[in-house]
Amino acid sequence: MRPFLIGGDPDRGWFLPLYWLALLVVGEGLSAIMGGRFVTLRRLTVIATIAHGALWLLFAGQRWPWVSFGFLAASWAVVHAELLWSARRAGVTGLPDAPHRHLIRSIEPALASAIMSLWLVTLGVILARKTHLLEDWFVPLAACGATLLLAVSLAGHLRLLTERPSTRAETLGAAMLLQTAALLIATVALALAGWMQVVAWLAMGVAGVGGGRWIRSRTLIAFGLIVLAIGAVRLIVWDSWVGGMTAPIDTYYGLVVSRWMILVVLAALAWFMAGVLIAQPDPTRESEPSNQPGPIRPSARTGWASSCGAIGVVLLLVSALNTSADAVAICAAWLGIATIVGICGAFERRLHLTLHAIWALMLTGAIWFPAFFIEGWEHFHDAPFFHRGLVIALLIAGSFFLLRHLARRHFADPNSELLRALRMTCAIAAGVMIFVSTSAEAARLAGMYLESGSTRAAAVSLWWGLFALALLAIGFMRKNSPTRLAGLGLLAVAAVKAVVFDFGPTVSAGWRAVSILVLGVLMLAVGLVYSRLTRRQARDDHPL
């Protein structure tokens, strides 16, 4: 506290950092020479240097920029020199792991290194921007090079990428390598701006995953995934609101194409590529599953690859979103994305793309309803039987049946309960899409060709009866009891609707009579045919 107590000449303010640096050298030197007996002194001088140095650099450091940068670099170097010396002196004694206080002491060097690096980069970037003496990205880049050299000298021969640290020196080397990765990300963030920054992060992420897979390093793979996540989060959270990247470049049938959309698609492709790299079998292990036809055994690697595929699908869906885009165009784009991804899953099964395409198609069906029913089905003046909502709904249903068939390739047991539930879910979703869209189109056609729009209710009831017959026929042909029960239930609902709701005063007596008569004949015919077919099927199943 001496400089604050006795004051000083403002024109010689550069003396203060030199004074604190000398005290830091004393504290670190005694700690390095005398060992644990001066650990408290080391902590005190480091804390004082960080606190005093930050205050001086923020309020007076601009007047002496070279002194400021030199003070930052020298302080960082002194602290790390003592850490390096202490780690080397510890030798190969190993990490203490018994008492809690020893554990805290074992991670203290790594924590002190991280704090000093953060202090150096933060204040260095602030000074660089205020003094314009250096580019702000040069500070984290220089620190990145220094930490990388220390990591290599402490860990040696890249063992740290494939093995867990077993000594104090390797633990400090691990911390330095993590700092190198973080400083590299900070350098890219400061050096580049806009879309170039995102592209750089995506390239770094894929390269990290590929390099980690090559040398079998989980640490490098994790670094690549973190960088990919940073790029994706920036695109969705930041660039989707500011930066002007969402400005339309062109519009195709209501779908907005922008620079942001292109970057999100690139991010999705990067995640797919990362998943493929992670899923690659290890040629040195004969037990690794390959991409040959056959069931895929669950493993941790397959789970990570599947997660990458899921993130890629989410990004593809998000890429179609835009405040200027039409809801119908977004629905059609999501349908195409889900279908293409599901087909690709038949060729690259380790990412489970077909399974991800199923939930993407369910999301498509969910946005189909508001896209066509908020403003009304009749809002779209399309030709009969070619209503865009009907066409998209039928395509969604067809895609559900396609993915239902392809989902078998992702299960080793064809009789798996999960597979049966998934196939049933796809069939139900397809049936709902067909039923709702055709019912709405039947009501629209009734309003177009009949004199009074009040006859729509009766026309819909008739269509429900015919749809119920189709379900019954499918249920008997495929020997599927739930489908037959659904047909019977729908027929009952149509009858109740015709009797209770279609007898309104606005519906003509003729249409009421036709509706009741047709439904009554259908129910009688269904009862007769259903009982005979049920007895015949029972005899076929149990001939004795």
pLDDT on residue 356: 94
pLDDT (tens digit per residue) in 532-543: 766 666 666 555
Check if the beta carbon of residue 150 is closer than 8 Å to that of residue 84: yes
Q: Among 26-40, 49-63, 374-388, which is the least confidently predicted range? A: 26-40
Give the residue, 214 or 537, on which the prediction is more confident: 214
Q: Among 289-298, 305-314, 497-506, 511-520, which is the least confidently predicted range? A: 289-298
- 3-state SS class at 307: helix
Check if the beta carbon of residue 308 is closer than 8 Å to that of residue 278: yes
Q: Please compute the mean of the pLDDT values over residues 216-224 and round it to a whole number.
A: 82
The closest alpha carbon to 446, from 390, 379, 378, 393, belongs to 378
Q: Among 32-36, 277-281, 469-473, 511-515, which is the least confidently predicted range? A: 511-515
pLDDT (tens digit per residue) in 243-281: 667 788 888 888 989 989 999 999 999 999 999 999 887
Q: Is the pLDDT of residue 520 over 60?
A: yes
| 3-state per-residue secondary structure call for 238-252 | HHCCCCCCCCEEEEE
Q: Please compute the mean of the pLDDT values over residues 395-401 and round it to a whole number.
A: 96
Give the residue, 302 or 509, on which the prediction is more confident: 302
Cα-trace Rg, the chain: 35
End-to-end CA distance of the chain: 103
Alpha-carbon gap, residue 96 to 412, rounded angstroms: 47
Give the confidence band of 525 by pLDDT, cuts at 50, 70, 90: confident
Q: Is the pLDDT of residue 378 over 90?
A: no
Alpha-carbon gap, residue 543 to 162, rounded angstroms: 65
Cα pseudo-dihedral 181, 182, 186, 191, rounded to 10:
0
For tokens 């867990």, name the residue: 164
pLDDT on residue 150: 86
Please report, as a single letter, which amino acid is at residue 165: P
Name residues whose C-beta falls within 8 Å of residue 344's C-beta, 6 or more positions apart in sequence. 353
pLDDT on residue 97: 41
Of the chain, the percentage scoring pLDDT greater than 70 comes to 82
Where residue 306 falls (left for φ over 0; alpha for ψ -120 to 50; beta otherwise) is alpha
pTM of the complete model: 0.76
Q: Is the pLDDT of residue 526 over 90?
A: no
Give the residue, 454 or 83, on which the prediction is more confident: 83
pLDDT on residue 364: 96
pLDDT (tens digit per residue) in 137-174: 999 999 999 998 888 887 665 455 556 667 777 778 87
pLDDT on residue 294: 39
pLDDT on residue 125: 92
Give the confidence band of 503 by pLDDT, cuts at 50, 70, 90: low
pLDDT on residue 18: 87
pLDDT on residue 339: 95
Check if the beta carbon of residue 274 is closer than 8 Å to that of residue 205: yes
pLDDT (tens digit per residue) in 99-134: 444 555 667 788 888 899 999 999 999 999 998 888
Q: Is the pLDDT of residue 297 over 50?
A: no
Q: Is the pLDDT of residue 239 over 50?
A: yes
